Chain A
Amino acid sequence: MSSNRFDIEINGKACSAEKGETVFEVAAREGINIPTLCHDTRLEPAGACRVCLVEVEGQRRLEPGCAWKVSEGMKITTESERIERHRKVLYGLYLADHELDGEGLPVETGNGNQLRELAMKTEPLALNPVEAPRAGRPSDENPYIRFEPELCILCARCTRYCDEVEAVNAITLANRGSHTTIATAGMRGLLDTTCELCGGCIDTCPTGALVEKKSPDPLPADARKVRTTCNFCGVGCQLDLHVVGTNGTSRVAKVTSPPPGETVNDGNLCIKGRFAYDFIHHEDRITEPLIRGEDGELHPATWDEAIAAAAEGLGKVKEKYGADALGFVSSSRCTGEENYLMQKISRAVYGTNNIHQCSAT
């Protein structure tokens, strides 16, 4: 009986592998980079983009590293003159119906463009442009997601993500040949489909063909990323907040997930985590301390006045009725440290254990 663990060789290097693994998985573990456009670790391998083709000893054709399963003693080559030749032609074909910049490279987008990066490494074969009559959905009124057919390479990461991960099947490949496009049922706007506006399609798209409508595209060069934890439900998704502007005027202009495999959300977010950040800079935010006056109305006050009024008001209640006539409602939305301080205030400062938050409602 053959063992489930065995050695294979990649570029002459012995690598330990397990039955069922793909060339990609073993290579990634060994730090060997195989380029790809259509692969996402959250999806079943599709072998669609042909960028990851490798030489497998004994195989006549080049094989896709993302889908090819390893077996004992297998010898793989990931860089060779033959592979380089293949890539030149392949990239040339992709570029022939892709939107190009002045230098003839795939255009940069707010979400990057991995085809551009590849084309900069391996000079693509120059081919005459072809017209791909790929339909978009210009009248789609959803507030978040725009499809740019000129940037699409039909790798189907978005449609497979929508099917395999989010499982709502709002978008699909439609039509045939050069008319193939990313479509919805009846080309309806996303708001009229099963789409839940998670934005995972934007996240997985390798060429920026899916664009986040509400953030600047591209972000300014000085935008910085701040890793934090989402403030909605209890899953604890990690977010990268993209901040533009300097102190005082800085704003969160975009939210993305850390890459798959790094954090608890594995690269995924929902509509709230990815898109519901407008509240941060909303004009309705309370920006001044307020004290209710004799007239029954709330009036702006200084911090010193407001804090003193709060302490005096609660102090009087304690004096009149005792500490247990006070209640402290802390917040499951605030930080752990703030909850610690709130219970310390309730217990050590005011002398009551009447401290809670929403966890029993």
Chain B
Amino acid sequence: MTNSIDEIRDADLLFVTGSNTTEAHPIIAMEMKRAIQRGAKLIVSDPRKIWMADIADIFLQIRPGTDVWLLNAMANVIISEGLTDDEFIARSTVDFDKVKETVAKYTPEEAEKVTGAPAELIREAARLYATTKKAGIYYTLGITEHTHGTDNVYCLANLVLMTGHLGKRSAGMNPLRGQNNVQGANDAGASPVFYPGYQRVTDAEAQKKFEEAWGVKLSPNEGQNLNVMMKSVIKGTVRGLYVMGEDIVISEPNASKLEVGLNENCEFLVCQEIFHNVTTQFADVILPGACFAEKDGVFTNSDRRVQRVRKAVDPPGNAREDWKILIDFAKASGYPMPDYSSPAEIYDEMASLTPKVAGISHRRLEENVMGLQWPCPEPDHPGTPTLHVDGPLKGKADFQAVEYRPSAELPDDEYPLVLSTGRVLYHYNAATQTRREAGSVAKVGRNFIEMNRKDAKRLGFENGEMVDVVSRRGRVDAEVMISPRMRVGCVWMPMHFAESRANLITNDAGDPVTQTGEYKVCAVRIESRNGNGNRNPERQRRA
């Protein structure tokens, strides 16, 4: 996030797109509700009529995967109606002309045909966004989990840059991070292209610095990101895995191919886990780790805030803190890993090599109850709540002209419905934790497929009926949930349930830059399990 979470309450406009905030980030949603109660305007674009859509001033219920059309059309309106911040564009950006040229053909009327959102509403949304000073964009996986996810992000960044909504309190570009420490994991260098603090592995200077610090020669080649790595397991070019705290099989798209890869190609799999999950079934060695309440360290949240994690109880049985396991594993592998006495010492080593967090230490975090937000380069630096205050950090920000590309798999006669997958409030990702919690299970106990009443009626399905959802890659069972939130022709399923895994049917076609799978769009048909429903795919096509 370029802004901080507490800036949301002071915003005058929230543009929430591809984020079901009340379910995936409920406490951030509370800040949004507070802003709206104060009088802030709300624009929501989403294929589903989510909770936030009910209280939105403008709701754009677009067809899944048509974001580029919507966002380019908004840019078109902002430019053609002269609502750009020309001074900001001249001072802080390059390549605006390319975007101007590209979006010229993305008129609201044409966008209406593709997205399904009315042209007039697109115009209103563009005007409202461009003319409100404290305007923030908030997005999550609804934007990124597409084969054009990077393009979607570029389009949003174009809107931010052409209106100058950057580097100000409550105005900026805010991806809401999904996991407690996904920001911190990247910051710490758990990345195939970056050492800690986003120093490139291909940068010879950085390589030299880390070689000196760690006393070994390092590879100058970029590694594989998780999506590529999993495809390498399927192909047999990656043959050994060490997986810590991640259920790769339930989380990756088109999971059955990965299962075959793990069975046939992966010669050695180490899992470090707190619960058995789908992935540990393939493990050669399982190392029992500790959960967050059983160890010390830091998590970095969505607004770059480094905060303490403190040990409250001991790990169960012979389970151990993960940092201790890793030290022993490194030593057993023949590397002289230092005998760090505590995570504070490990953090100090990282901070000494990482300018962005060089001013942060466990000692400072004890004194700063609110945590410290990076960049925080010096021990007396107060941290950085809002990014890009003095202009873009990189000097000049690049506009990126983006053309619409359809999603990789569109509905056809055989698979006539569009499936998106996602998360519900009551469960967390692979749900090994929340499915052991009575209230979460009482609220949502099993897999479901959400669909519009018209589709259910046309297909002959009743609310609560068990069905099979079938794609080219597999089938999973689910309970029909008839819901006014869905567009006709679109269905939605959560990804939490190990016995009915949405990712057996999702599409692993990847974004060309990130290789992120297309979890938000794939083609499916729905089959009855009890013989009552209509098995004929012909009938499932949109009337």
Contacts and interface: CB of A to CB of B under 8 A. Distances in A.
A252 B268 CA distance: 36
Contact of A310 (B145, B224, B285, B434): B285
Contact of A341 (B30, B298, B326): B326
| Residue of B201, B293, B310 with most partner-chain A CB within 10 A | B293
A324 B185 CA distance: 21
A290 interface: yes
Contacts of B320: 303
B332 interface: yes
A343 interface: yes
Contacts of A285: 274-275, 288, 316-317, 319
Given A197-B443, A198-B26, A314-B333, A352 B223 contact: yes
Nearest to A199: B439
B319 A338 contact: no
A191 B240 CA distance: 46
A59 interface: no
Interface stretch (B90-98, B162-170, B171-179): B171-179
B526 interface: no
Contacts of B83: none
Given A310-B332, A347-B210, A233 B178 contact: yes
A342 B185 CA distance: 10
Contact of A291 (B218, B284, B299, B337): B284
B201 A313 contact: no
B180 A230 contact: yes
Contacts of B516: 360-361
B470 interface: no
A341 B330 contact: yes
Interface in B182-218: 182-193, 195-196, 201, 210, 214-218
Interface residues of B, number: 147
B275 A284 contact: yes
Nearest to A235: B27
A276 B439 CA distance: 8
Interface stretch (A24-32, A180-188, A203-211, A259-267): A259-267
A361 B298 contact: no
A282 B436 contact: yes
The CB with the most chain A CB atoms within 10 A, among B25, B55, B185, B322, is that of: B185
Given A272-B440, A313-B268, A337 B181 contact: no
A268 to B, nearest CB: 5
Nearest to B515: A360
Interface string A199-228: 000000000000000100000000000111
B498 interface: no
Contacts of B318: 287-289, 303
A333 B285 contact: no
Interface stretch (A76-84, A131-139, A160-168): A160-168
A73 to B, nearest CB: 29
A314 to B, nearest CB: 5
Nearest to B28: A235
A326 B179 contact: no
Contacts of A321: 239-240
A244 to B, nearest CB: 10
B241 A286 contact: no
Contacts of B176: 234-235
A171 B252 CA distance: 40
Interface string A236-265: 111001010001101110000010001111
Interface in A338-361: 338-361
Contact of A330 (B190, B288, B517): B190
Interface stretch (B71-79, B300-308, B460-468, B482-490): B300-308
B325 A307 contact: yes
A303 B180 contact: no
B293 A340 contact: no
Interface string B229-250: 1001100011111111110100
Nearest to A237: B27
B160 to A, nearest CB: 20
B218 A348 contact: yes
Given A279-B291, A287-B288, A351-B218, A235 B302 contact: yes
B372 to A, nearest CB: 12
Interface residues of A, number: 116
B466 to A, nearest CB: 22
Contact of A356 (B180, B229, B325, B432): B229
A101 B369 CA distance: 38
B398 interface: no
Contacts of B182: 234, 332, 357-359
A144 interface: yes
A270 B26 CA distance: 6
A269 interface: yes
A130 interface: no
B185 A279 contact: no
Interface in B267-300: 267-268, 270, 273-276, 283-289, 291-300
B312 interface: yes
B517 A307 contact: no
A144 B440 CA distance: 11
B341 interface: no
B286 to A, nearest CB: 4
Interface stretch (B342-350, B375-383, B448-456, B471-479): B342-350
Listed residue (A325, A347, A352) with the most chain B CB atoms within 10 angstroms of its CB: A347
A306 interface: yes
A321 to B, nearest CB: 5
Interface in B11-30: 24-28, 30
B38 to A, nearest CB: 11
Nearest to B201: A353
Given A278-B438, A334-B181, A358-B179, A310 B323 contact: no
Given A250-B314, A309-B284, A313-B284, A327 B27 contact: no
B426 interface: yes
Contact of B332 (A232, A308, A334, A348): A308
B242 A314 contact: yes
Contact of A228 (B191, B242, B308, B327): B308
Contact of B242 (A258, A275, A279, A328): A328
Interface in B23-46: 24-28, 30-31, 33-34, 37
B328 interface: yes
B240 A279 contact: no
Given A287-B319, A313-B240, A361 B288 contact: no
Interface in A82-101: none
B428 interface: yes
Contacts of A241: 293, 312
Given A227-B310, A334-B289, 4 more contacts: A229-B292, A233-B178, A311-B333, A346-B223
Interface of A: 142-144, 164-167, 191, 196-198, 214, 226-238, 241, 243, 247-248, 250-252, 258, 262-266, 268-273, 275-282, 284-292, 298, 303, 306-311, 313-318, 320-321, 323-361
Interface of B: 5-6, 24-28, 30-31, 33-34, 37, 55, 145, 176-193, 195-196, 201, 210, 214-219, 221-227, 229, 232-233, 237-246, 248, 251-253, 267-268, 270, 273-276, 283-289, 291-303, 305-314, 316-320, 322-323, 325-330, 332-335, 337, 343, 346-347, 349-350, 369-371, 425-426, 428, 432-434, 436-440, 442-443, 514-517, 519
26 contacts: A214-B438, A234-B176, A234-B180, A234-B301, A234-B302, A250-B313, A263-B369, A271-B443, A276-B428, A276-B433, A278-B436, A279-B434, A280-B293, A282-B275, A286-B275, A287-B319, A290-B283, A303-B320, A307-B325, A310-B332, A314-B268, A338-B326, A340-B347, A348-B214, A356-B223, A359-B186
What are the 4 tightest A-B residue pairs by CB atom distance, in nearest-first order? Answer: A287-B317, A236-B301, A335-B297, A353-B223
